[in-house]
Every structure is written in C-alpha cells, then in structure tokens.
Amino acid sequence: MSEEFKVEIVNPEKSFLVKEDVLEVVVPAFEGEMGILKDHISIISFLKPGIIKILSKSGDENYYVEDGIVEFKNNNLSILTSSIFNLNDLDKSKQQDLLKKAEEEASKPEINDQSKYLVDQKIEILKSLNQ
C-alpha cells in the first residue's frame, strides 16, 4: 500500500501548490510542531509563524509561513495561508524586511499577549533562518 497523500496549499490569490506524492508534512501548529502522515485523523488547527516541511518522493520542500489554517480530511491536507514563501526564494534582503516589520510590530505598546507571542515566534524563526 502506498504511503502517499495529497497536499494543497492555497493562498487568497491562487492555488499555491498541489502535490500528490507526499509522504509526510510537518506544520508549525499553534501548540507545537505537528507531523502529519497518511491516514491521520481528521483535524483542524491553525498555524503560527514557522516552517512547513513537505517530504515527498520527488524531493523535499520547505516553506516559510506567517499564519494559516490546516485541515486534514480523507488524506487531503489543505493549508490556507495568506503569507507563504518558498525558502529557496526567500533571500537575505527579504528576510531582513520581514524581520524589520515584525520587530516594529513587537515594539508597539498596544500589542496584546497573543499577538505578542506570535510576533516573537516570527522574529525567532526569521533570526534562525539568517544564521
């Protein structure tokens, strides 16, 4: 039996990526990283800033996301996100831009705890990418 399932990443403008031969996807869910294999139970969760790892027969891919929702059902994994970048396309200057934006947001006085947590996560991830 094959161990593959389908993953689909959609952003508001278009369908970002569709892959049929995926073995495992690791998503940065809100309460920690979550690896999804075939025949996982149906689940809905949302993402915090982090790296989505897609392991497939045709090669591995890494994406950076800032937010989103994951839905897994009948071996279909849908990821809805409004901000996603392929790590290969994310060069140093872009990373710096995102980092700067995040730091600006973090320094706002009226920020609430939850968004503060998310922004801190974002900064941490972006910093680790830089190394």
Partner 1 sequence: MASLDDLKKRIASVKSTQKITKAMKMVAAAKLRRAQESAEKGRPYSEKMNNVILNLSSGISDKENAPKLLSGSGKDQIHLCVVMTSDRGLCGGFNSNIIKKAKSYFAKLSEEGKELKIITVGSKGNDQLKRAYGDKIISHISFKESKNANYFDAEKVGKIVIEKFEDEEFDVCTIFYNQFKNVITQIPQAQQIIPLNTETSEEDKSEDSYEFEPDEDEILSNLLPKNISTQIFKAMLENSASEQGSRMSAMDNATRNAGEMVDKLTIEYNRSRQAAITKELIEIISGAESL
Q: Give contact residues for partner 1 (rule: CB under 8 A).
A: 10-15, 29-31, 34, 41-46, 67, 69, 71, 73, 78, 80, 82
Among candidate residues 26, 22, 2, 31, the one with its CA nearest the CA of residue 76: 22
Minimum CB distance to partner 1, residue 21 (Å): 20
Q: Which sign does the torsion angle of CA 22, 58, 17, 83 carry? A: positive
Quote the least distance from Cβ 75 to partner 1, whole Å.
Answer: 12
CB of 24 or CB of 67, closer to partner 1: 67
Nearer to partner 1, 76 or 86 (CB): 76
DSSP state of 124: H
Closer to partner 1 at the Cβ: 93 or 114?
114
Contact partners, residue 117, CB within 8 Å, separation at least 6:
none
Pairing of strands 76-80, 5-10: parallel
Rounded to whole angstroms, the Cα distance separating 50 from 22 reads: 19
**At closest approach, how far in Å is the CB of 106 from partner 1?**
18
CB of 83 to partner 1, least distance (A): 9
Nearest to 19 by CA among 68, 84, 80, 76: 76
**Residue among 74 and 131 whose Cβ is closer to partner 1:** 74
